[in-house]
Structure 1
Amino acid sequence: MLLLLSLPAMAERVSDIANTKHNLSATGPGTTRATSEDEVCVFCHTPHGATSFPGSPLWNRQLSSQTYTVYTSSSLDAEDIMGQLDQPGGSSKLCLSCHDGTLAIGTVNVLGGQQNVNIAMTGTAIDGSMPPGEGETTGFIRDLGIDLTNDHPISLTYDSNLANVDTELVDPVAAAHIGVRAPGFRPIVPLEQTGSGGAAQIQCASCHDPHIREQDPAEVIKFLRLNRFQTNIPVDGAFSETSDIMCLACHDKEGWATSAHASPSVATETYTSAGAAQREFPVGLPVWQAACLNCHDTHSVHGSRRLLREGTDSLTVPKAGGEAASEETCYQCHSSTPVINNTASEVKDIRTDFNLPRHMPISNADQVAGQEVHDVTDSDLSEDPLLLGKDNLSNRHAECTDCHNPHRVMKNALFNGTGSDLSPTHAHTAGHTNIASGAMRGSWGVEPVYGSSVFPSLPTNYLVKQGDGGLGAGTLVTSDWVTREYQICLKCHSDYGYFDNNIYPLGTRPNLSTSGGGTTSGTNGLTQYTNQAVEFNAPVLHRGQTTTTDSGAGSAFSINNHRSWHPVIGETGRDPTTRSASANAWLAPWNSNVGEQTMYCSDCHGNSTGPTTVVPSGNNPWGPHGSTNEFILKGSWNDQTGGQARDVPATDPNNGICFKCHDYQTYADRNGGDLDSGYSGSQSNNLHAFHADRIERMHCMWCHTAVPHGWKNKALLVNLNDVGAEAGLPAGTEIAINGSADVYNQEPYYFNAKLKVRTFAQSGNWEETNCGSAGANIPGNATSTGRDWMRDVCTNPP
């Protein structure tokens, strides 16, 4: 803290144009200057013969007659209020007489009593205009051109009405540092009365004073009236002229002051020499001090949106034009070749995950539309469901800000933590929960509202969760803000983000393989994705071990039966005693608080991990960015997942997804690790092990649903005596299984399925008579029940 307090506050600006790049005379310090003319002021001002323009300070240049393409954005509330922004006016019009590149810099109205003089210059473009710098379409040039869509909006009316609508802008009426200058009132951020009826507007000179420099002439302040960089810890809602970056004079971003990107204890990485030089940053500048300028540039690369630095799909360095690609802004730091010094790998390499064989469709090339469809509407970075694919599946996409709000993210195990605890994500420990981590803080999502427990009923509604509850915010699922990771996932992976006619096996849900990086169509028999909000429904009355009549199972199969689910939305209520199972049939941390714990989507989805854990190896990131496995899973999942012999090793050699949480030997080895499984009865305390011995292998999908999110039967068990709407069949349909080679395949939930349950048993009370054909005299099902049925159909299954 002593170090922070000792950081220099904003040094006094010196009005000394002679020692700035705006001294275009032969004596100027810049590379663009006159060859011999030594007058300094003449390039902008003249006492006689000035251009007539309202408010112009004796302007010695002609003004451009160009019509400009002005800034526009779906999240620019000023457009909702005033329509399209006005053409540049006031000081902006003057600045653009050089900076739009249409007029020669050396052309002035009057010089030495002569009119319309062309001063000989060096360091200009061929036509004498502003030089091209790093390239005319890069973000490292001050020839802004006449396309201003990649430049900070100007001629924008800034008043209380705009501040109230936006909610993250400082109210200029309440802030002494913003306003129209008048006798006795000189706010440091001056607005200009260039709007309709004299309305106060933002113009170039609101931020820039073309005459000033830093006390140290070597410092690059870009003629800013206030700090170019942050010099001390920011405070939400309390702008400091001496220590805050200039952006915060107007932009009071909710949660920014406590975010990871603004934290001196988190964002300590410094820019590389090349990265700093490219951006004209001081050598050794840490990320937290670069603040807004890490991700934004007021004059950014052509094609980027929302002033995102390097935010296009251009392949050049620096980027030159291209189409909007916001992920590229994040990749500046979150890649294997960052522009920051990241020797400790604290800043996670996300780009590599997105280049794995299976990944979210984040690039323009991966997205069906072929361009960045993502378009947020407000400071919560929320988006119209139509852009998620609701009306057009071609709009489906993934972008970083679909899941993360970079102005609010926090390095904390909990989204509501009271500060940084340096945790990269949620705590993966005993007492596991589904509470969102700091990486999810301030994002937006949806909470499904259920009207029925019957599988596969759709939710009746979705409640949008958005905003930031602040430090120590409540964690109730009923909160207005996101409190659970699944809320973020479900806005795309449910019928909130697409139309679902709830018809199976094929409906209106998104197809596999439609986007780059997607799972191959036909994997596990699937050609369409399923609706996760339908599957993860965790009805309160189905928790514990109970009999229900509304699970979606046929009426003949309701006793001792209920819905089952992985506890993503809600806990199961089924502890080891209820399950008649040993807690250690689960791996840590799942062997603690069994039945009471919840989990995350990212416990199963993400880059491939070791065989007994879901924790990323090394410095790999959490999160479902990409994987070498289908469905972006952390392990393999197919019809061979399980044991391939009577005796199996301690860990699954095929890295099956199930056995990162469930003990491999308990379920796949004939000795069962000496542990009880819920599938037990008088024959054995572990009928998984019993069958592994008899069949000489044990595959999960023989008995369990192929999409193990949630299901109509207990323990995610398939029942070929009771196939129904989920397969496009009448309820209670029995599937004919005549021999060991026979299996049932019907997307999405049946793949290599064998199991027939005649009656469901309480866990721990399973007997051979519970299994077998429900209709022994029905053609194709004459293999009876119990052990006889098992011998006929399970002796050597595929």
Structure 2
Amino acid sequence: MRHRRAIFIVPIILAALGLAAGELRASTQGVHIVNTPHNLSKSGTGTPNVTAASDEDRVCVFCHTPHNSSLEGPLWSRKSNISMYTLYKSPTIKSLPEQPQGVSRLCLSCHDGTVALGLLLHNFEASSLGAIPAGRNTNFGTDLSKSHPISIIYPTDQEFSDKSTLEYKGIKLGFDAYVECTSCHDPHNNQYGNFLVEDTSTRHDALCVQCHTKSGWATNEDATHRTGGQRFSEVSGVVSSDGCVNCHKPHFAQRGVHLLKQADSSSGEESNCISTCHKGASYPGGDVASSFALDYRHPIQLYPGVHEANETLPVPEGKKHVQCVDCHNPHQAGFQGSPLGSTSPAVSPPSKAPEVNGPLRGVRGVTTFGEAIPGEGYASSEFQICFKCHSGGSASYFKSNRSSTQRPVRVFSSYDESVRFGASSVSFHPVTKLTTGTGRSLKSDYQNGKMQMVYCSDCHAPHGSVEPYILRENNSDTFPVGAATFPLCFRCHDDTYLYGTAGSRTLHVSHVRNHLTPCASCHDPHGIPTLTGVTQNNAAHLMNFDTRYAGAGASYDAAGRSCTVAGTCHAAGDKRYY
């Protein structure tokens, strides 16, 4: 009778421990608890992080007891864990973590390093094994802010798999609702290493994507951070196999928010990109890191921890910043249409101004009316991304650090680009809307509608430049210039035509070639803002004088073919006709 009773009891204990009978019989390395690092008895082999006991033969006793167990867990034998923890925080988190509960608190009774491994209920010492030493990667301490959140209700959101599919994938939720340690780890089965419930030996983020379904990650064929791309074999295989863990760490992340890998805990988010991957002359995607070290750049290094994925747009003054993720969505970015605007891109199809391409895909933006794009908010045009910072009431925040006396001071002045390129703008470079006229001052390849719109980045190098205003080429705005060469303007405009001898073109010869007057002294390179006093007549032809040289009262009369100027250029302050 005793023999029959033992046969009956064993399955009950196995069920309480979460073990199938087949697992107990399995001989595969790591499937049986005896062959895992959780075997702390004398028969255990130990690990670099934990030494097996020298004074205890029983395997299960470190967590379980058949009699007088605690109600905290299945046949639970360990000393109660009363620690309070610092929890994970993120501005975009879908559900708020709670103090660890249930199975997670049981796991932490060993893995927070506050309770000796050999100390059981009622302070009974089953072994002399002490707590996991600090600094070991199995000791998480009581600060969980840099680890994947636990004791958090599984979100019902489009960027997460349906909860009903998880059990089939081997992922368990505490109380059928909470993400816990055992959602990713099976404490009794180490067949995949780190007690993971999914084989991550080939695809290192295989477990991550069972729950996380980031928009565009799996559906964009050229999502380079997922696929590794097909252009550079020396990096594509590594990037593809790492997937999520290229950028994220589930435990001990250098930056807690979003669990980012960084050079160190004090580095900004941008270090996740430029210190690890996008750097070096040999990097196949270009040495982006060096661009951000140039004199004129988007200063991504200055704003650690400011960016929020759901931040107010346009970005208000108190939150002004610029980081890689302001212009690039790492979960959706690819190399389609690159370089921007190229008719023969590295990955088809090509992009055409003002359309975004792969690297700019999935980024929030602002409309030509200076308002955040509704819904998901994704920009369809490049300028909408630029307008996130360079529009609105605080657009002037990012003025150059040069003193105001060294910057153009316009008759009609605004740093709000949604006003300068707005729907009602009288005169503009065709960034937000189609060009008008035949473009007779342009090179022949661009005339008669052959170039209808341009990108902001046709003139500006968004990462960095040796030229002020992050311009792609020299285009001095100070008078007099050193030489009558304006390579940026003359990339599109025909200098032979502009230096002609007919009509108003003689003014270009006189001003630019003979007196070394910069183009920007008379013309506003972006557009004339829609402000009080601006008309079709006084703001035509991108005429918006720099008052440092033309005088505070400078004005233009397109119909009368004249301008009234004073100051450095014309000290007498008279009206000039052409």
Aligned partner of 2:31 in structure 1 is: 15
1:18-37 counterparts in 2 under 5 A?
18-26=34-42, 27-31=44-48, 32-34=50-52, 36-37=54-55
CA spacing shift, 1:400–1:520, aligned 2, 3 Å: farther
Aligned partner of 1:171 in structure 2 is: 162
What SS does the corresponding residue of 2:120 show, helix, strand or coil? strand
Pick the aligned partner of 1:634 from 459, 472, 478: 472
Q: Is 1:129 paired with 2:132? A: yes
Aligned partner of 1:771 in structure 2 is: 562
Aligned partner of 1:718 in structure 2 is: 544
Aligned partner of 1:124 in structure 2 is: none
Aligned partner of 2:308 in structure 1 is: 375
Aligned partner of 2:260 in structure 1 is: 308
CA spacing shift, 1:447–1:415, aligned 2, 3 Å: farther
Q: Is 1:601 paired with 2:456? A: yes
Residue type of the alignment partner of 2:140 = L
Pick the aligned partner of 1:359 from 294, 297, 311: 297
Per residue, is there more helix in 1 or in 2? Answer: 2
CA spacing shift, 1:224–1:412, aligned 2, 3 Å: same
Q: Is 1:444 paired with 2:364? A: yes
Partners of 2:368 and 2:421 within 8 A in 1: no
Partners of 2:564 and 2:576 within 8 A in 1: yes
Post-superposition offset of 1:493: 0.8
Partners of 2:437 and 2:448 within 8 A in 1: no
Pick the aligned partner of 1:566 from 412, 429, 448: 429
Distance in 2, matches of 1:783 and 1:373, equals: 51
Residue type of the alignment partner of 1:132 = G
Post-superposition offset of 1:329: 1.8
Residue type of the alignment partner of 1:510 = Y
Residue type of the alignment partner of 2:198 = L
CA spacing shift, 1:147–1:531, aligned 2, 3 Å: same
Aligned partner of 1:473 in structure 2 is: none
Residue type of the alignment partner of 1:486 = F
Aligned partner of 1:152 in structure 2 is: 148
Residue type of the alignment partner of 1:523 = Q
Pick the aligned partner of 2:74 from 44, 48, 57: 57
Distance in 2, matches of 1:662 and 1:421, equals: 24
Q: Deviations over 1:70-93 (max 9, x none)?
A: 2222211223xxxxx322112101
1:159-558 counterparts in 2 under 5 A?
162-163=155-156, 166-173=157-164, 175=165, 177-178=166-167, 188-193=170-175, 200-214=177-191, 221-228=193-200, 231=203, 245-257=206-218, 258=220, 259-266=223-230, 286-301=238-253, 303-310=255-262, 319=264, 321-322=265-266, 325-336=268-279, 343=282, 345-363=283-301, 366-367=302-303, 371-376=304-309, 382-385=310-313, 388=315, 390=316, 393-413=317-337, 422-423=346-347, 433-449=353-369, 462-465=371-374, 467=376, 481-495=378-392, 498=393, 509-510=396-397, 512=399, 518=401, 521-525=404-408, 530-539=415-424
Post-superposition offset of 1:64: 1.8
CA spacing shift, 1:489–1:582, aligned 2, 3 Å: closer
Please tell me the root mean square deviation across aligned C-alpha atoms, in Å: 3.9
Post-superposition offset of 1:446: 1.5
Q: Deviations over 1:413-463 (max 9, x none)?
A: 08999xx97449965xxxx521111111111112123xxxxxxxxx6xx25
Partners of 2:368 and 2:423 within 8 A in 1: no
CA spacing shift, 1:118–1:659, aligned 2, 3 Å: farther
Post-superposition offset of 1:362: 2.0
Post-superposition offset of 1:686: 5.9
Aligned partner of 1:456 in structure 2 is: none
What SS does the corresponding residue of 1:286 show, helix, strand or coil? helix
Per residue, is there more strand in 1 or in 2? Answer: 1
CA spacing shift, 1:760–1:423, aligned 2, 3 Å: farther
Q: Deviations over 1:357-413 (max 9, x none)?
A: 2222322xx24xxx522122xxxxx32248x2x2xx232001222111111112100
CA spacing shift, 1:771–1:149, aligned 2, 3 Å: same
Gaps of 5+ in 1: 1-11, 80-84, 122-126, 134-140, 179-185, 194-198, 215-219, 232-242, 272-283, 311-316, 377-381, 450-458, 468-479, 501-508, 540-550, 552-562, 585-589, 607-623, 667-671, 721-726, 728-741, 762-769, 788-798
Partners of 2:364 and 2:373 within 8 A in 1: yes
What SS does the corresponding residue of 2:243 show, helix, strand or coil? helix
Distance in 2, matches of 1:118 and 1:582, equals: 86
Partners of 2:421 and 2:526 within 8 A in 1: no
Q: Deviations over 1:215-250 (max 9, x none)?
A: xxxxx632111132664xxxxxxxxxxx97111211
Pick the aligned partner of 1:701 from 511, 516, 520: 520
CA spacing shift, 1:383–1:335, aligned 2, 3 Å: same
CA spacing shift, 1:44–1:642, aligned 2, 3 Å: farther
Distance in 1, matches of 2:256 and 2:435, equals: 46
Q: Greater shift after overlay, 255-264 or 14-23?
A: 14-23
CA spacing shift, 1:759–1:534, aligned 2, 3 Å: closer
Work out the number of aligned pairs and report it: 530
Q: Deviations over 1:295-348 (max 9, x none)?
A: 1111133542111122xxxxxx6x3x437x3222223533436xxxx95x2234
Aligned partner of 2:66 in structure 1 is: 47
Residue type of the alignment partner of 2:249 = D
Distance in 2, matches of 1:519 and 1:260, equals: 38
Distance in 2, matches of 1:633 and 1:660, equals: 12
Residue type of the alignment partner of 2:127 = I
What SS does the corresponding residue of 2:124 show, helix, strand or coil? strand
Aligned partner of 2:20 in structure 1 is: none
Gaps of 5+ in 2: 1-27
CA spacing shift, 1:691–1:394, aligned 2, 3 Å: closer
Q: Deviations over 1:93-120 (max 9, x none)?
A: 111011112112233349xxxx621634
